[in-house]
Structures are given as C-alpha cells and as structure tokens.
C-alpha cells in the first residue's frame, strides 16, 4: 500500500513506484513526462497516446464534414467513412438537437406531501436561487429554466432542475445550482440527501435520420439491415452489441472534441433502457423503396468548459470540423454514430464483419509482434492468406521475411 503518494515529489513518486512494482526506476523515468496535464489530474505520470484519424464523406443538414476520430480500434474510421458515403449518395443525414441539462435533489421523507406542495408553490423562488448560484449562465440567455418534482416511492422524491447550459456540458454549473437549492430547502427543514447532475440527459436529445434508396444497397441487404435492427429492439444481448457499434463512432468524436465520453456513454445506455428493457438506440426500416435509419440519444457535448479550453488538439479538431456551436457538434456526432451502425449492420448481414476487419486485424497483430514499417505490406498479404490470423502465424511470417 502506498500512503501519501500525492504528497511526494515527482522523483520520490517514481522511486516509490519502482519499489512497489517490478518496473525499473530507469524505465519509469523514461516513461514520466512533464506537461500541462500535471495540473489537470492527480498523481500524473505521463501522457497516454491514442491514434487519431479522419472520417470523410459525412454530410449533415446539407453541410460536408471531415471528422477527426480518436480510437485504438482498427476499421472504425473506415466503416464510418463507408457508412457516411452510402448516406451521402442519398443526400446525407438530417439532424437536430436540443439542450437542457438536468440536476437532481434527492429527498427522503415520511411525509412527502408538504414538500411536494412547497416545491410547486416556490418554483419561481427556487429557480431564482439556482440562477443566483451561476448568474453568468443566465446572462448568456441560459440558466435554470424549469423545475419539476417526481415522487419515486412513498417516501422518496426527486426535484429535477432543468438548466440551459448553452455551449457548456454544464456539470459543474448544475452541481453549483442544485447545491444552492439544497441550502435553500434545508432552511425549510427539508432534508436533501443528494444534489447532483443527472447523466440521463433526456432533455438534451439529438435526433438523426437518413434515407437510402433500397436499390442502392440491394433489396435483400436492405431488408436484412431492417431485420438486424429489429433484433436489437427485442433482445438486450443483441442491443448491447448494436449500441457498441454506434458508440465506436460516437466515442471517437467525443474524445477528439475533448468531451467527457463517460458522461455520453452513461447517458446513451440509460436512454437505451428508457422503456424498461435495454434496446438498440437506432432503428432501420424499409419504407416503400427507402431504407430509413433513425436514432435519438442524449448528446450533451460542449465546445467550452471542462478540459476543452486547455486541449489544443481538441480545439484544432473542432476547427477541422468547422463546428460553430455545441448543437452542431452533437448533430455531427450522432450522424457518425448512425453511419457507423449502418456500415456494421451492412457488413454483418452480407459478407460478415470479419472479412472487412481481416487486413486491419492482421496489421495490428504483426505490429504487436514487431513487424517493421518496411515489412508490413508483405507481411499483411501473407497473413491474410494464412490458414488463421493468429500470433503464431504472425511470428512465423516475420521470421520468414527476415531470413
């Protein structure tokens, strides 16, 4: 056990780490970095790099985008670009989004009726209290806009504060607001157990749709894509994987834009279970001669706040996408998610997901086993033709090339 690690100097931290682990001090010294991130997180050691690539062909609301995506998974960017291209040929995606965030005050009481009555009667006073806790948001045209009270059980209540956080995700703003409301309620002898933002941002939904002529895909493929989406509506095992494919695209852009992907993940999955059963976030239906794709999910992403301001790469990525506001960013992200989903479903119901992945998988495996840049081209060709793409064959191929 390491106690007081955060109080040690950097050199002492490295020495302590070396002592507690099997890693040499020299290796740790080489790994350790000095950077701005030292101020950002606790017990900073180094930066952890992930690859960033560009998805192309995306058209949303008539505008063409190049989309930076941060992901370690091969074939995600290729699939997003391919899905986007199928939709681009058919006119592109349509998307719209709204943004109200929600904070909760959770209250338990044996007698909830007077509390419900008080909160309803004092709604405008409580909204004023919330806004006074972060007046700059109201000055921007945002701020606390509404409040409701829900009875969760016979003795438990949730007061939900709805806040327009403008260009920010608003977690900290909302937390300050609900804590101020909590203080006010306490003066009325109302015991508030917790006051905190909810990540089920179901008032910050982004909807994206697209239509592709059935004959562009082939009637059979279009019908099978629709069938695949039906399975995700009726079976949570299938829905989890269906949504993982969507989040492959969404997370990659959320990360590239410096946003909090845990917030987006938790909101998306909570929303996917809103009907009491976990379901696919998107649906695909054959309507007449069109395959119609639709998806709606919470996407409270931001263009300011959090670490976005100090993340120069995120700033550049927002510029690359020519993003003017948070709503537009949410719409682009939702479209990438649906493009990703389309490409994955098309592959699964036709040639199977593995064939497209094979070259990329082979490449990753060869890199892992030490293939150099110069060896990769030949090595990949040999490995995809091998009986199996596995570590043993990868090692053998590298050996053969070096003979």
Report, as residue numbers or ranges, the catalytic residues.
Answer: 73, 244, 260, 357
Q: In 235-325, where does DSSP find H-type helix?
A: 236-256, 261-272, 312-320
In the structure encoding, which two tokens stand for residue 263, read together? 């917030």
3-state DSSP percent of the chain in helix, strand and coil, to 5? 55, 20, 30
- Of the pair 256, 345, the CB lying nearest ligand NDP is at 256
Residue 305, helix vs strand vs coil = coil
- Of the pair 327, 357, the CB lying nearest ligand NDP is at 327
- Of the pair 166, 357, the CB lying nearest ligand NDP is at 166
Q: How far is the CB of 98 from ligand NDP (least distance, A)?
A: 15
Q: How far is the CB of 264 from ligand NDP (least distance, A)?
A: 9
Q: Find the binder of ligand NDP among 84, 222, 302, 380 (CB under 6 A).
A: 302
Q: Find the binder of ligand NDP among 147, 197, 321, 380 (CB under 6 A).
A: 197
Binding status of residue 298 toward ligand NDP by CB under 6 A:
no
Binding status of residue 305 toward ligand NDP by CB under 6 A:
yes
Q: What is the DSSP letter of 191?
A: P
Beta bridge partners of 107: 157, 192
Question: Residue 225 and residue 285: Cα distance in Å, rounded?
Answer: 8
Binding status of residue 173 toward ligand NDP by CB under 6 A:
yes
Binding status of residue 164 toward ligand NDP by CB under 6 A:
no
Instruction: Kindly tell me the sign of the dihedral angle through the C-alpha atoms of 340, 343, 348, 353.
Output: negative
Binding status of residue 331 toward ligand NDP by CB under 6 A:
no
Q: Residues near 170 by Cβ (< 8 Å), separated by ≥ 6?
A: 101, 137, 163, 197, 300, 302, 305
Binding to ligand NDP (CB under 6 A): which residues in 32-91? none
Question: Residue 402 and residue 282: Cα distance in Å, rounded?
Answer: 48
The string over 152-169, giving b where at least 16 C-beta atoms fall within 10 Å of a residue's C-beta and e elsewhere, is eeeeebbbbbbbbbbbbb
Q: How wide is the angle at C-alpha 201 spanned by C-alphas 124 and 340, nearest 5°?
A: 155
Question: Residue 363 and residue 375: Cα distance in Å, rounded?
Answer: 11
Strands 101-108 and 156-164: antiparallel
Residues 116-155: x/- map of binding to ligand NDP (CB under 6 A)? Answer: --------------------xx--x---------------
Q: Find the binder of ligand NDP among 131, 199, 211, 317 (CB under 6 A).
A: 199
Binding status of residue 301 toward ligand NDP by CB under 6 A:
no
Q: What is the DSSP letter of 51?
A: -
Give CA 209 to chain center in angstroms: 19
- The number of beta carbons lying within 10 Å of the beta carbon of residue 383 is 24
- Of the pair 99, 242, the CB lying nearest ligand NDP is at 99
Binding status of residue 169 toward ligand NDP by CB under 6 A:
yes
Binding to ligand NDP (CB under 6 A): which residues in 334-373? none
Binding status of residue 260 toward ligand NDP by CB under 6 A:
yes
Q: Find the binder of ligand NDP among 23, 219, 273, 304 (CB under 6 A).
A: 304
- Of the pair 168, 347, the CB lying nearest ligand NDP is at 168
Site stretch for ligand NDP (CB under 6 A), options 64-72, 104-112, 164-172, 178-186: 164-172
In the structure encoding, which two tokens stand for residue 55, read together? 């998805």
Site stretch for ligand NDP (CB under 6 A), options 37-45, 72-80, 301-309, 378-386: 301-309
Q: Residues near 194 by Cβ (< 8 Å), separated by ≥ 6?
A: 104, 105, 106
Binding status of residue 180 toward ligand NDP by CB under 6 A:
no
Q: How far is the CB of 172 from ligand NDP (least distance, A)?
A: 3
Q: Find the binder of ligand NDP among 172, 315, 364, 396 (CB under 6 A).
A: 172
Site stretch for ligand NDP (CB under 6 A), options 81-89, 167-175, 179-187, 372-380: 167-175
Count, residues near ligand NDP per rule CB under 6 A:
21
Binding status of residue 318 toward ligand NDP by CB under 6 A:
no
Element (H, E) at 26: helix 25-31
Question: Residue 179 and residue 192: Cα distance in Å, rounded?
Answer: 10
Residues that bind ligand NDP (CB under 6 A): 136-137, 140, 165-173, 197, 199, 260, 263, 302, 304-307
């Amino acid at each position: 056990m390491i106690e007081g690690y955060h109080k040690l100097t950097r050199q002492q931290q490295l020495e302590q780490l070396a002592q507690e682990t099997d890693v040499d001090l020299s290796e740790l010294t080489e790994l350790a970095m000095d950077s701005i991130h030292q101020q950002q997180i606790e017990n900073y050691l180094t930066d952890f790099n992930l690859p960033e690539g560009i998805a192309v062909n995306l058209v949303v609301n008539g505008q063409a985008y190049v989309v930076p995506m941060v992901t370690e998974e091969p074939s995600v960017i290729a699939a997003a670009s391919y899905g986007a291209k199928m939709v681009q040929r058919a006119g592109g995606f349509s998307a719209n989004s709204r943004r109200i965030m929600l904070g909760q005050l959770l209250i338990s009481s044996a007698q909830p009726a007077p509390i419900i009555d008080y909160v309803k009667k004092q709604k405008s006073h409580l909204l004023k209290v919330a806004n006074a806790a972060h007046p700059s948001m109201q000055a921007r045209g945002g701020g606390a806009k509404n409040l409701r009270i829900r009875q969760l059980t016979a003795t438990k209540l949730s007061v939900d504060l709805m806040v327009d956080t403008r260009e920010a995700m608003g977690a900290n703003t909302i937390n300050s607001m609900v804590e101020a409301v909590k203080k006010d309620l306490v003066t009325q002898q109302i015991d508030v157990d917790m006051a905190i933002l909810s990540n089920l941002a179901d008032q910050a939904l982004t909807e994206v749709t697209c239509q592709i002529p059935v004959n562009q895909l082939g009637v059979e493929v279009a019908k099978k894509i629709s069938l695949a989406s039906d399975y995700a509506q009726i079976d949570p095992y299938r829905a989890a994987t269906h949504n993982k494919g969507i989040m492959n695209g969404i997370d990659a852009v959320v990360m590239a834009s410096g946003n909090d992907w845990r917030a987006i993940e938790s909101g998306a999955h909570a929303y996917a279970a809103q009907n009491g059963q976990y379901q696919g976030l998107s649906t695909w239906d054959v309507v007449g001669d069109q395959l119609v794709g639709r998806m709606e999910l919470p996407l409270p992403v931001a263009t300011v706040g959090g670490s976005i301001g100090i993340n120069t790469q995120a700033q550049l990525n927002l510029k690359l996408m020519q993003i003017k506001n948070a709503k537009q960013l949410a719409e682009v992200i939702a479209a990438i998610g649906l493009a990703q989903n389309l490409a994955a479903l098309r592959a699964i119901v036709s040639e199977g997901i593995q064939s497209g992945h094979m070259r990329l998988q082979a490449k990753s495996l060869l890199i892992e086993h030490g293939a150099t840049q110069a060896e990769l081209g030949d090595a990949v060709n040999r490995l995809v033709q091998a009986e199996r793409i596995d570590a043993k064959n990868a090692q053998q191929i590298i050996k053969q090339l070096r003979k």
